[in-house]
């Protein structure tokens, strides 16, 4: 009887905290009404690395770690560590906020349970599905409901006390930057090996793309070009050919090549996808090699968070999910 009462109280507490939080957060942002179909699609998204994947695009949605915070970690008396990760969810097409994705993980068993929390204006069916998840999924996993209730209540308390400093700092501008990442003169490598400025690229153009599975270059169609005007700071990394750095070169080294983009734009490194602003000296990126019609490894010899600022920025969406800027492999967002 006591256990049933506790479960009911946790369920009610979580539901109430969620509703209050959604009303408070999404009343202040440009949001869209989440449908049941969208909720189902978001719930099916698999996050490859919950600790490292703080921002990524999947299935028409953008997931961004809530307030850039690490996971909430809970160490209960049963010796099991449990974590809750929070992501804001946006539509990829117009970056309108849909809601939150809360991901629960049991570190001992590896069990992962996603909960999609709709925004205040979401369709009633989406809210019904979320409540069903709380009731029928949450109660089956020991420790899930207390952790989720605590996290949502804690975030709600922060909102009521005037918190969310980070979201105000990023705010609407940060969302606008999600799809706009390169300066207007950034050279895009075309399928024939030539190049043209990203500002001149149009939807339907064929550029040189990269297939991460086969690790080969392949022509790919541009499906969308995003453009925006404002004030944008570009991060930069300087790259030198690995073979040149390791060879006994008596003729001297060639000057490192600079790659610039907004700090959140993902690039392909030797260890996988990574935001440009997080790339450190010594890491490996990949550049077009005309001699082999493939890619060669280039080492980062210098990295800066702010190289300069620009007024106009652009981003491509491609069929392959990757393209070349300045002959360096970058990824779709």
- pLDDT at position 120 is 78
Average pLDDT over every residue of 282-302: 93
Q: Out of 74-83, 201-210, 263-272, pick the least confident.
A: 74-83
On the question of pLDDT at 26 being above 90, the answer is no
pLDDT, the chain, mean: 81
- pLDDT at position 18 is 46
On the question of pLDDT at 180 being above 80, the answer is no
More confident residue, 20 or 102: 102
Residue 195 CB coordination number (10 Å): 18
What tens digit of pLDDT does each residue of 142-178 get? 888 888 888 887 776 654 454 444 444 444 444 444 4
Q: Residue 296 and residue 292: Cα distance in Å, rounded?
A: 9
Across-strand partners of 325? 188, 328
- pLDDT at position 24 is 45
| Angular region, 187: left φ>0, alpha ψ -120 to 50, beta rest | beta
- pLDDT at position 302 is 95
More confident residue, 311 or 30: 311
With a pLDDT cut of 90, the percent of the chain lying above it is 42
Q: Out of 29-43, 105-119, 168-182, 229-243, pick the least confident.
A: 168-182
pLDDT-based confidence at 137, cuts 50/70/90?
confident
More confident residue, 18 or 215: 215
Average pLDDT over every residue of 304-329: 92
In angstroms, how far is CA 156 from the centroid of its own chain?
Answer: 24
pLDDT-based confidence at 136, cuts 50/70/90?
confident
More confident residue, 256 or 25: 256
What tens digit of pLDDT does each residue of 222-273 get? 999 988 877 788 999 999 998 855 544 444 457 899 999 998 898 999 988 8
Q: What domains are defined for the chain?
A: 2-177 (no CATH), 182-331 (2.170.16.10)
Pick the most confident of 34-48, 52-66, 178-192.
34-48
**Tokens 């698999």, residue located:** 46
On the question of pLDDT at 329 being above 70, the answer is yes
Q: Residue 136 and residue 11: Cα distance in Å, rounded?
A: 10
Both tokens assigned to 62: 């953008």
What tens digit of pLDDT does each residue of 124-133 get? 999 999 888 8
CB 89 within 8 A of CB 62: yes
């Amino acid at each position: 009887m006591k256990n049933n009462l506790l479960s009911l109280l946790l369920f009610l507490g979580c539901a109430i905290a969620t509703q209050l939080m959604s009303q408070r957060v999404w009343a202040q942002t440009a949001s869209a009404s989440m449908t049941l179909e969208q909720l189902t699609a978001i719930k099916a998204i698999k996050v490859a690395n919950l600790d490292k994947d703080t921002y990524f695009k999947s299935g028409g949605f953008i997931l961004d770690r809530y307030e850039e915070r690490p996971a909430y970690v809970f160490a209960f008396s049963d010796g099991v560590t449990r974590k809750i990760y929070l992501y804001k969810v946006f539509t990829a097409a117009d970056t309108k906020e849909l809601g939150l994705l809360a991901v629960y993980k049991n570190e001992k068993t590896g069990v992962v349970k996603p909960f999609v929390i709709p925004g205040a204006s979401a369709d009633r069916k989406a809210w019904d599905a979320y409540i069903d998840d709380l009731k029928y999924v949450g109660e089956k996993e020991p420790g899930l409901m207390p952790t989720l209730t605590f996290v949502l209540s804690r975030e709600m308390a922060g909102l009521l006390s005037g918190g969310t400093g980070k979201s105000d700092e990023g705010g609407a501008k940060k969302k606008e930057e999600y799809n706009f990442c390169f300066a207007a003169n950034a050279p895009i490598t075309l399928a024939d090996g030539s190049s043209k400025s990203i500002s001149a690229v149009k939807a339907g153009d064929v550029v040189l793309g990269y297939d991460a599975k086969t690790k080969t270059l392949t022509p790919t169609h541009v499906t969308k070009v995003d453009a925006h005007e404002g004030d944008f700071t570009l991060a930069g990394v300087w790259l030198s050919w690995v073979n040149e750095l390791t060879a006994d070169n008596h003729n001297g080294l060639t000057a490192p090549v600079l790659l610039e983009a907004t700090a959140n734009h993902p690039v392909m490194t030797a260890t996988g996808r990574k935001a440009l602003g997080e790339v450190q000296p010594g890491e490996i990126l990949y550049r077009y090699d005309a001699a082999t019609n493939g890619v060669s490894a280039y080492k980062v010899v210098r990295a800066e968070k702010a190289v300069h600022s620009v007024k106009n920025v652009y981003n491509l969406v491609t069929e392959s999910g990757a393209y070349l800027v300045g002959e360096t492999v970058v990824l779709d967002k």
